Structure 1
Amino acid sequence: MTVEPGVRVGQKSDASVIERSWDEPETFAVLFDRHAGTVHRYAARRLGTEAADDLMADTFAIAFQQRHRYNTERGDARPWLFGIATNLVGRHRRAEARRFRALAQLPPADEAAGQGEALAERVAARVSAQGVRRELAGALARLPARNRDVLLLVAWADLSYEEAAQALGVPVGTVRSRLSRARSKVREALGGSDPTAFREESRS
């Protein structure tokens, strides 16, 4: 039995929750409880923790306003929510690029040791174990925005190619081509390695 991410066996699908919220708006809170954490983590990795608070709130506010337009044939609402979040990130392109460039300039962990509440330590505390390394941050900063969106939806939001296509409103073939170009640039910048390419076998 296939169960949506964030949905336990026996729970209603995201689509069912959204459809019910058309007549019972308070039901929409279930969707927030299920997915707010993952949307926030995605936003934080792209824009930083402080900006992520507002971006997550805006994502669900927009989703609530647009819930009557949701395609209920799609049981999992994550592509829809991440699509909204990615559009909101698009309003902060310069801030995102500055963030990645700043991360790329951080000293290695051994150089940062002993500096007290150093920037490197604060950043390290805000990202997951698969967080942005200096080299990766530099590579991401140099990617065209549309290629970076595809790459991070797949690598950080854990969407499939089809789900990323739904999120961005583009054909799957476009996702594949943009992802290929993005990963080629990342591998080139990192000397042949690509830390964004995990679980690739499940993406085809």
Structure 2
Amino acid sequence: MTNSQTIRRPGEGRRIGIVGDVYRFLATGEETDGKYATFEALVPPGCGPPPHIHSREEESFLVLEGQIAFQNGEERLVADVGTFVNMPVGSLHCFKNETDQPARMLISVAPAGLEQMFLEVGQPLDDAEMTPPPSRADIDKLLEAAPRYGVEIMPPRRGSIPRPGDLVAVSSQFMLVVVSAIRCGQFVKIMAGGFSRTILVL
């Protein structure tokens, strides 16, 4: 157990690029005895992670600059500066910067551990370097690593964005009518009655 304090001055901390966003780590589990991890997230226009579920940690967000659209299940929230959001364990959620200006957030996970997935999957960045838009290879890398960290990302497949009234196949024997479709980054969650599926739009 450590008793030393952790200090990160402006601009300090490891920076990585992951699925289009830039994360700067302020405190990791190694520094908090595994209790929590905190990082700054720079979210460029149009960026944000795909819909996912955490089985181990709660995740909280504080919007510092810009505006972020959060999706928690079927509930949507457009969050301005100063808005705090906490996503409980087991919730299907995502966020996206839907504006034409960068957004910045403070993100914490408790307990710690998820930051290790970001460090594994992400691309190390220099102080002033920005991350390129995510490629299919970047997304595949994230999809492969996520289950090892207790994160479920809905199995993606290629496809177009469905519209209410469209028919979707849910098995070899059943088709359902789409009730609604929620876009989150490059992913779209479709709802049809009590059934939902997430598809990847490339």
TM-score normalized by the length of structure 1: 0.24
More helix by share: 1
Q: Which has the higher contact order (CA 8 A, sep 6+)?
A: 2
More strand by share: 2
